[in-house]
């Protein structure tokens, strides 16, 4: 509505209230005072003096530019809806065990259950807010036993009533209370509840995303560590053989003791690496057990089987969707929170304005001055002459509240500013996470390829060493040392392989993990200070102080 339409509605409200008050025979002087106040407020509405503008609120920032960062990774932007990544993105690793673990986590994880319970609470609050939009109906039944005291108020007017016992019955099958939502306060409360529920729904999707990505990272790192542990075990065995060979050569007088010391030091390094790798693997197992809602024992044999030794690296398309608002659940939740906060600002503004309540009751009332014959009360209560009704329209206009209303409005405005700032920060973090994920993915992909070439070169050296041993040109130590070099290179390659897989998980998470239920990028943002009642509420605040 425009300001002029609100002015007309305000005048109509004034006339309606005046008519109701006349029906109730309210003092004429009081009527004139109320009318004067309303006329004054309407004039203030038209003038709109000292009204807060939208520019005084926190502003939504535009989506950060990220096209050049994508171009550096030979990637483009996919406009419009895109099916990548899919909601079950983890299936791209071709691991049945990982699929099973994530499916179990989606059913048994405690944080996800808590998020679901919070969503149910938010959806229940919608029903509470909806109830304020319709009249409340109830039935009242009351019985009262009383005795009129001597020397009391009733006795002073009618001494014959002194000492009498009275049994009263009240039956009101129809009692209605209704706050007429003239300024949209209750409607705004419903919209705020809907916004909170939408935010909680998106936050639950964010919990799902964090759960699946955390579990995938733990599993992929654990899988790489399991392969590294097997390599570390073999390295330790070879180092022990080299130490034994050095001891034999020393006892035979072929080498000095320095050879034994160097071999023993290398053996100690191999043992420490084996212990460290085993501990790191245990930590990943414990993390997986917790994420799937189980105790640590469930993960002890998690990587004992070798059916997932070759995980597939996901294929990244040439173009990826970058409409973060649509694909990021945390960003959608932040926007929903801001919209709910904007509705609460409207609620706070309506508290400065007059409210109209309507109460209607109809029923029976009967009184008996004896307790000996309860049937007499029944006859008097359920009688056509006992029927009564009351219609009570009420007008409430806050004049002076000691600053309570103003403080409440300031609180809601500050809360809105915080939600907008939170949205902006989430948007910047989202763009950074996409860029960082692409950088790490490119880095580990390049390092993995270089390390694979290094492994191939060492394997070639091992092959040549075996030929030299076969021809009697070198002793067995050279072959063992070349085997150590190959295993050392493979150990580091497995680490890079795991980190490369984890970097792809980071990319899946930064793009929302297949979430596509957010608002469109061009969707309008809330602007609470453009509310037409803003000039009215601010004018009343300037006069009364709220």
The pLDDT tens digits for 498-535 are 999 999 999 999 999 989 888 877 788 999 988 889 88
Alpha helices in 3-109 (DSSP H): 3-23, 28-47, 67-72, 96-108
57-130+182-353+401-544 has which CATH code? 1.20.1600.10
CA–CA gap between residue 388 and residue 173 (Å, rounded): 11
pLDDT reported for residue 148: 83
134-180+355-396 has which CATH code? 2.20.200.10
pLDDT reported for residue 162: 82
CB of 82 within 8 A of CB of 321? yes
The mean pLDDT value for 358-365 works out to: 84
For residue 20, pLDDT beyond 70: no
Q: Which of 1, 234, 219 is nearest to 90 (CA)?
A: 219
CA–CA gap between residue 210 and residue 61 (Å, rounded): 25
CB of 416 within 8 A of CB of 347? no
The mean pLDDT value for 174-180 works out to: 87
CA–CA gap between residue 176 and residue 136 (Å, rounded): 6
CB of 34 within 8 A of CB of 22? no
Structure tokens at 422: 């939170």
Burial class (CB in 10 A: 0-12, 13-18, 19+), 291: buried
The C-alpha torsion from 508 through 513 and 517 to 519, rounded to 10°, is -30
CA–CA gap between residue 492 and residue 440 (Å, rounded): 17
Q: CA-based Rg of the chain, rounded to a whole angstrom?
A: 39
485: left (phi over 0), alpha (psi -120 to 50) or beta: alpha
Count of alpha carbons within 13 angstroms of residue 244, beta-carbon side: 8
- C-alpha to C-alpha distances, 495 to 73, 76, 223, nearest whole angstrom: 22, 29, 10
CA–CA gap between residue 541 and residue 334 (Å, rounded): 30
For residue 76, pLDDT beyond 70: no
Helix (H) or strand (E) holding 141: strand 136-147
In terms of C-beta distances under 8 Å and separation of at least 24 residues, what long-range contacts does 18-22 make, across chains too?
20/393, 20/395, 21/395
pLDDT reported for residue 8: 45
For residue 3, pLDDT beyond 60: no
Classify residue 27 by its DSSP letter.
Answer: -
CA–CA gap between residue 337 and residue 329 (Å, rounded): 12
For residue 49, pLDDT beyond 70: no
Residue 236's CB is within 10 A of a number of other CB atoms, namely: 19
**In the chain, pLDDT over 70 holds for what percent of residues?**
84
Structure tokens at 441: 């993915």
Structure tokens at 207: 């919990």
CB of 239 within 8 A of CB of 484? yes
Q: What's the pLDDT band for 474 if we cut at 50, 70, 90?
A: low
Q: Which residues contact 139 (CB under 8 A, 6 or more apart)?
A: 172, 173, 174, 175
Q: What is the pTM of this model?
A: 0.80
CA–CA gap between residue 405 and residue 350 (Å, rounded): 10
The mean pLDDT value for 150-158 works out to: 82
- C-alpha to C-alpha distances, 78 to 313, 325, 429, nearest whole angstrom: 22, 14, 20
Q: Which residues contact 65 (CB under 8 A, 6 or more apart)?
A: none
Q: Which residues contact 238 (CB under 8 A, 6 or more apart)?
A: 480, 483, 484, 487
Classify residue 529 by its DSSP letter.
Answer: G
Q: Which of 513, 503, 106, 90 is nearest to 291 (CA)?
A: 106
For residue 9, pLDDT beyond 50: no
For residue 347, pLDDT beyond 90: yes
Angle at 66 between CA 60 and CA 72, to 5 degrees: 170
For residue 145, pLDDT beyond 70: yes
CA–CA gap between residue 168 and residue 377 (Å, rounded): 8
The mean pLDDT value for 67-79 works out to: 66
Q: Which of 305, 298, 295, 297 is nearest to 223 (CA)?
A: 305
The string of DSSP letters for 275-318 reads: HHHHHHHHHHHHHHHHHTT--GGGGTTTTSS-TTSSPPPPPPPS
CA–CA gap between residue 466 and residue 474 (Å, rounded): 9
Question: How confident is the prediction for the chain on average, in pLDDT?
Answer: 83
User: Does the CA dihedral 120-121-122-125 come out positive or negative?
Assistant: positive
């Amino acid at each position: 509505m425009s300001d002029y339409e609100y002015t007309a509605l305000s005048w109509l409200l004034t006339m309606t209230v005046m008519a109701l008050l006349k029906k109730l025979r309210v003092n004429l002087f009081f009527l004139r005072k109320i009318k004067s106040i309303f006329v004054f407020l309407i004039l203030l509405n038209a003038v709109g003096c000292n009204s807060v503008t939208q520019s005084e609120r926190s502003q939504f920032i535009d989506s950060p530019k990220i096209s050049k960062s994508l171009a550096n990774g030979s990637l483009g932007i996919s406009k419009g809806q895109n099916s990548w990544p899919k909601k079950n993105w983890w299936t791209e690793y071709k691991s049945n065990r990982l699929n099973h673990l994530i499916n179990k986590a989606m059913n048994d994880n405690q944080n996800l259950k808590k998020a679901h319970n919070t969503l149910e609470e938010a959806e229940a609050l919608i029903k509470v807010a909806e109830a304020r939009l319709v009249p409340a109906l109830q039935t009242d039944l009351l019985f009262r036993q009383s005795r009129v005291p001597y020397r009391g108020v009733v006795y002073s007017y009618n001494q014959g009533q002194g000492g009498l016992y009275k049994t009263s019955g009240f039956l009101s099958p129809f009692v209605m209370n209704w706050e007429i939502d003239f300024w949209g306060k209750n409607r705004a409360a419903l919209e705020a509840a809907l916004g909170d529920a939408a935010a909680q729904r998106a936050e639950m999707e964010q919990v799902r995303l964090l759960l699946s990505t955390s579990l995938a990272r733990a599993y992929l790192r654990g899988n790489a560590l399991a392969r590294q542990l097997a390599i570390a075990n073999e390295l330790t065995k070879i180092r022990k053989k080299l130490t034994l060979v050095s001891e034999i050569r020393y006892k035979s007088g072929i080498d000095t003791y320095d050879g034994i010391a160097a071999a023993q030091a290398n053996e100690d390094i191999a043992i420490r690496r084996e212990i460290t790798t085993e501990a790191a693997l245990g930590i990943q197992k414990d993390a997986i057990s917790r994420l799937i809602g189980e105790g640590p024992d469930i993960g002890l044999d998690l990587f004992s089987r070798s059916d997932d030794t070759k995980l597939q690296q996901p294929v990244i398309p040439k173009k990826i969707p970058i409409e973060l608002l649509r694909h990021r659940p945390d960003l959608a939740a932040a926007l929903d929170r801001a919209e709910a906060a904007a509705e609460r600002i409207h609620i706070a503004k309506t508290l400065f304005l007059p409210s109209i309540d309507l109460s209607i009751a109809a029923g029976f009332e009967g009184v008996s001055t004896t307790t000996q014959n309860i049937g007499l009360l029944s006859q008097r209560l359920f009688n056509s002459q006992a029927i009564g009704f009351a219609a009570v329209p009420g007008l409430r206009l806050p004049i002076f509240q000691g600053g309570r209303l103003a403080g409440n409005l300031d609180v809601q405005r500050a809360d809105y500013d915080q939600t907008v700032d939170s949205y902006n920060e989430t948007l910047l973090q989202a763009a950074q996470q996409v860029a960082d994920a692409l950088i790490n993915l490119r880095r580990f992909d390049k390092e993995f390829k270089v390390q694979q070439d290094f492994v191939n070169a060492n394997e070639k050296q091992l092959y040549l060493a075996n030929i030299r041993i076969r021809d009697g040109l070198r002793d067995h130590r050279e072959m063992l040392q070349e085997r150590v070099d190959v295993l050392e290179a493979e150990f580091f390659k497995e680490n890079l392989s795991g980190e490369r897989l984890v970097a792809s998980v980071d990319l899946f998470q930064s793009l929302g993990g297949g979430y596509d239920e957010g608002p469109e990028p061009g969707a309008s943002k809330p602007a609470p200070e453009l509310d037409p009642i803003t000039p009215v509420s601010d004018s009343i605040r300037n006069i009364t102080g709220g």
